[in-house]
Amino acid sequence: MSLAANGRSESTSLLLSSGGSSPESEQAEIDAIRGATELVRGGTAADLYVVASSTALMHGATEETKCDDAEETKEHSRLSACGRARILLRSHGPYAYVRGLSAAFGAQYVAIVVAEYGMNQGLGLRLVSAARSYYLLDRVGMTSSEYGHLSGFIHIPWQLKSLFGLLSDTVSINGLHRTPFLVLAGVVGLCSSALLAILPVAAVSHGVAACLLLGTNWNVAMADVMVDATVAQRAKQRPELAADMQALCWASLGSFGVPAALISGVLLSHFGPRLLFSVAAIAATSIVFPAAAGWLGEKRAAHARSAPFTAVRRRCAEVFGDPIKRRVAAAALLVGAYSVSLGLLQVSLGSGHPLLAGSLTAGGNLALCLSLYALLRAVDGCLARAIVYAFLQNALCPSSSVLFEWSHAPTGDASASSDHRCFSAEQCTNVTHGAELPCGWARARGAPCLSPLFYSLVQVAGSAALVSGTALYTACFQAVAYRKIIGTTQLLLVAVNMLDLVWVSRLNLRIGLPDAAFLFTDEIVADVVERLNAMPFFIYAAKLCPPTVEGSMFALFMGLSNFGSASGSYLGSALLRLLGGVRPPAFARLQEYIVLRSLMRIIPVLLVPALVPRGSPRDTAREMGAGAAITGDEESVPDGEEHASSSYGGALGKKHKADV
């Protein structure tokens, strides 16, 4: 339903669990920022509101941190983020804001942060995402089922972000931990996007296309982790500027992301996907050369050249010597290895042997859930159950691009494509070369034939709807129990998904509702409900992160959620093949697919009572049922709470400072 990326603002949600302005919570706030910056993904300016609202919640937990006139007279280091930004923008404007950050961290460092979040993510990733479906479906000639097998594979880098962080923390190249990996990410993105732009379609097999698109995601995901790590380091050096750095990151995303979303439709309509890949290749260079020139400001580690393996062994000992860190690292390695293996399985066997691939996927998913629970149950039972739900919530819900394939019009450069589905009868008279499907078949059958420009506007509307959903949740639903809000919104998503039947059956036209009005309304409603469903997950995931591994644990939560979405696309492809393919021009059994896809969204509702933590966002981790490893509890279980303790993973007692 939603055209917006899943969990787009999850990187800010860790901030919600560490609110407060007391000295005891200062380190927890820094750790929260470190964990949040591990997860920043491509977004739009609309997403900046999500960060702003999350930061306001973090700094507004007590009366002393509200953004009022009295606070503006305090010294700068004690002002809240909104108070500092308000004073700065009121008196000097954005230029002075950037100049202030440049004075604190260096103009070159600020520039490379803007290049990564603005050019590489906001512009480059947005254009690649907009071009991908048109390229694979219309140029390469994939079906929606084949596209589903590749979709999870090309997003594997997003599931490996926690491993990228662990790798760069542990391994240095010529004494540098971040810069070489940032350069590598940019080079991979440059080469992948450039090859997508210049290779003739005849030379691009399904496997080649999958590898090149995986490279574009590798570029952004790895670079994101490297820059985020440096942002976190500077947040610890200058904690009073931590929120300002986050604002810079997200403002850069929005400043480039919204124009990119708007112009992508125009460029696709007139020039096709190749031009978008070319611009994305240029965007990737924006991080390669500055990183190679040392703009990241990374200092070379002492004695790194003479004893690199000693440093690696020391860092590995730090991770694997602590039982909690060891289990979290093992869980991250397990998820990474399984996601890569499953992606390769789907690419190699998904199309030719769908039954075998589907059986192995189902068995592998079950084994993954059991293994994760066994690994993390020793840390905390509540945490173990929540991490399993993070994966299953999306993995059990099929998704595919079949509705896009049915409804979209090819890009405007029709001469480069054999797809003339939306040609009129007059246009078809000028078509001389043959094609697999008859000219004008979509228009003749009454398909919507929605233009790339229209779909780009729908994406912008979806981003605005995500902001509205976030505002609605923060205003009205923070006191609602996790289980209640997640279960209710999941059932609402079943009903919202069923609305596609109205569109596919063309009932909307019979009642006088145009396709454009229906799709805009459907997109807005779906994204608002999805945000209401996702916000509780972001919050309790942040609250359940054990001390000292907040960043890695939160990254694991979000990686599993993304991996669940990838598994959902594999399930969607299997469902399409079970129904006979649901291929053009007839798209036979498309309505049956919609019904089955929608009804399967009920399955996660059945898991909510067993896997989702109790309590609400206003409760501490202890009140949610977490044990000593999460709360820092050293006291015995009070009388009458033994049952809750056994059910939710350990003894309960005093709160840890991260729960303040």
Is residue 59 one of the residues assigned to a domain?
yes
Q: What are the beta bridge partners of residue 450?
A: 408
- How big is the chain by its Cα radius of gyration, in Å? 25
Reported as a pLDDT band with limits 50, 70 and 90, residue 86 is: low
DSSP 616-640: -TTS-HHHHT--HHHH---SPPPTT
Question: Which of 254, 288, 318, 322 minimizes the C-alpha distance to 40?
Answer: 254
Question: Which of 19, 39, 5, 24 minimizes the C-alpha distance to 231?
Answer: 39
Distance (Å, rounded) from C-alpha 640 to C-alpha 654? 16
Q: Where are the alpha helices (DSSP H) in 45-170?
A: 46-59, 81-91, 94-105, 107-114, 126-134, 144-154, 156-159, 161-170
Measured from the Cβ of residue 618, the count of other Cβ atoms closer than 10 Å reads 10
Q: Is residue 427 classed exposed, middle or buried when 0-12, 13-18 and 19+ CB atoms within 10 A define those classes?
A: middle
Lowest mean pLDDT among 7-11, 85-89, 394-398: 7-11
Query: Is pLDDT above 80 for 600?
Result: yes
Reported as a pLDDT band with limits 50, 70 and 90, residue 176 is: confident
Is residue 232 one of the residues assigned to a domain?
yes
Q: Which residue has the higher pLDDT, 168 or 385?
A: 385
Query: Degrees (nearest 5) of the Cα angle 236, 240, 245?
Result: 75
- The average pLDDT across 454-475 equals 87
In which residue are the tokens 């596209």 written?
A: 147
In which residue are the tokens 């787009």 written?
A: 8
Is residue 376 one of the residues assigned to a domain?
yes
Task: State the SS3 of 537-579.
Answer: HHHHHHHCCCCCCHHHHHHHHHHHHHHHHHHHHHHHHHHHHHC
- The average pLDDT across 223-243 equals 82
pTM of the model: 0.77
Tokens of 18: 């560490």
The tens digit of pLDDT for each residue in 312-346 reads: 677 677 767 788 888 988 999 999 999 999 999 99
- The average pLDDT across 194-213 equals 92
Confidence at residue 139, expressed as pLDDT on a 0 to 100 scale: 86
Query: Is pLDDT above 80 for 6?
Result: no
- The average pLDDT across 73-88 equals 46
Confidence at residue 244, expressed as pLDDT on a 0 to 100 scale: 78
Confidence at residue 125, expressed as pLDDT on a 0 to 100 scale: 92
Lowest mean pLDDT among 465-474, 503-512, 566-575: 465-474
User: What is the maximum span of the chain, computed from C-alpha positions, in angstroms?
Assistant: 84
Query: Is pLDDT above 50 for 43?
Result: no
Question: Which of 594, 270, 278 minimizes the C-alpha distance to 456?
Answer: 270
- The average pLDDT across 141-151 equals 88
Is residue 1 one of the residues assigned to a domain?
no
Give percent above pLDDT 90 in the chain. Answer: 41
Q: At 131, which CATH number? A: 1.20.1250.20
DSSP 61: S
Tokens of 290: 């500055």
Confidence at residue 198, expressed as pLDDT on a 0 to 100 scale: 94
- Domain interval for residue 170: 10-298+310-424+437-619
Distance (Å, rounded) from C-alpha 568 to C-alpha 558? 15
Query: Is pLDDT above 90 for 446?
Result: no
Q: Which residue has the higher pLDDT, 255 or 109?
A: 109
Confidence at residue 385, expressed as pLDDT on a 0 to 100 scale: 96
Mean pLDDT score of the chain, rounded to an integer?
Answer: 79
Task: Give the count of alpha carbons within 13 A of 324, CB side only.
Answer: 16
Spell out the residues 6+ positions from residue 254 whose beta carbon is closer than 8 angstroms to its own: 43, 44, 45, 46, 47, 48, 122
Task: State the SS3 of 387-422.
Answer: HHHHHHHHHCCCCCCHHHHHHECCCCCHHHCCCCCC
Query: Is pLDDT above 60 for 75?
Result: no
Q: Is residue 589 classed exposed, middle or buried when 0-12, 13-18 and 19+ CB atoms within 10 A define those classes?
A: middle
Confidence at residue 19, expressed as pLDDT on a 0 to 100 scale: 41
Confidence at residue 466, expressed as pLDDT on a 0 to 100 scale: 83
Lowest mean pLDDT among 199-208, 232-241, 276-285: 232-241
Query: Is pLDDT above 80 for 656?
Result: no
Is residue 568 one of the residues assigned to a domain?
yes
Query: Degrees (nearest 5) of the Cα angle 518, 520, 522?
Result: 65
172 in Cβ contact with 314 (< 8 Å): no
Is residue 42 one of the residues assigned to a domain?
yes
Lowest mean pLDDT among 82-86, 393-397, 437-441: 82-86
Confidence at residue 384, expressed as pLDDT on a 0 to 100 scale: 95
Structural domain total, the chain: 1
Task: Give the count of alpha carbons within 13 A of 337, CB side only.
Answer: 11
Q: Give residue 50's Cα distance to chain centre.
A: 14
- The average pLDDT across 496-523 equals 94
Confidence at residue 121, expressed as pLDDT on a 0 to 100 scale: 92
Q: Length of the chain, please?
A: 660
Helices then strands, each counted (H, E), the chain: 31, 0
Lowest mean pLDDT among 265-274, 289-298, 353-362, 542-551: 542-551
Tokens of 306: 């003479």
631 in Cβ contact with 621 (< 8 Å): yes
Distance (Å, rounded) from C-alpha 280 to C-alpha 291? 18
Q: Which residue has the higher pLDDT, 181 or 413?
A: 181
Lowest mean pLDDT among 243-257, 354-368, 568-582: 243-257
Distance (Å, rounded) from C-alpha 396 to C-alpha 391? 9
Confidence at residue 21, expressed as pLDDT on a 0 to 100 scale: 41
Distance (Å, rounded) from C-alpha 353 to C-alpha 166? 36
The tens digit of pLDDT for each residue in 243-286 reads: 778 778 878 887 888 888 889 988 998 888 999 999 999 999 99
Is residue 75 one of the residues assigned to a domain?
yes
Q: What are the beta bridge partners of residue 103?
A: none
> What is the torsion angle, in degrees rounded to the nearest 10, for the CA atoms of residue 413, residue 414, residue 417 and residue 419?
140
Q: How far is CA 534 from CA 4, 385, 469, 493, in A?
A: 13, 17, 10, 12
- Backbone phi and psi for residue 450, each to the nearest 5 degrees, phi listed first: -80, 135
Lowest mean pLDDT among 19-28, 153-162, 424-433: 19-28
Distance (Å, rounded) from C-alpha 629 to C-alpha 649? 9
Reported as a pLDDT band with limits 50, 70 and 90, residue 4 is: very low
Reported as a pLDDT band with limits 50, 70 and 90, residue 101 is: confident
Tokens of 619: 């409760």
Cα torsion angle, 611, 614, 616, 618, sign: negative
For 113-150, letters b (16+ CB in 10 Å) and e give bbbbbbbbbbbbbbbbbbbbbbbbbbbbebbbbbbbbb
Question: Which of 128, 132, 2, 1 minimizes the C-alpha distance to 460?
Answer: 2
Give percent above pLDDT 70 in the chain. Answer: 77
Query: Is pLDDT above 90 for 387?
Result: yes
Lowest mean pLDDT among 345-349, 435-439, 591-595: 435-439
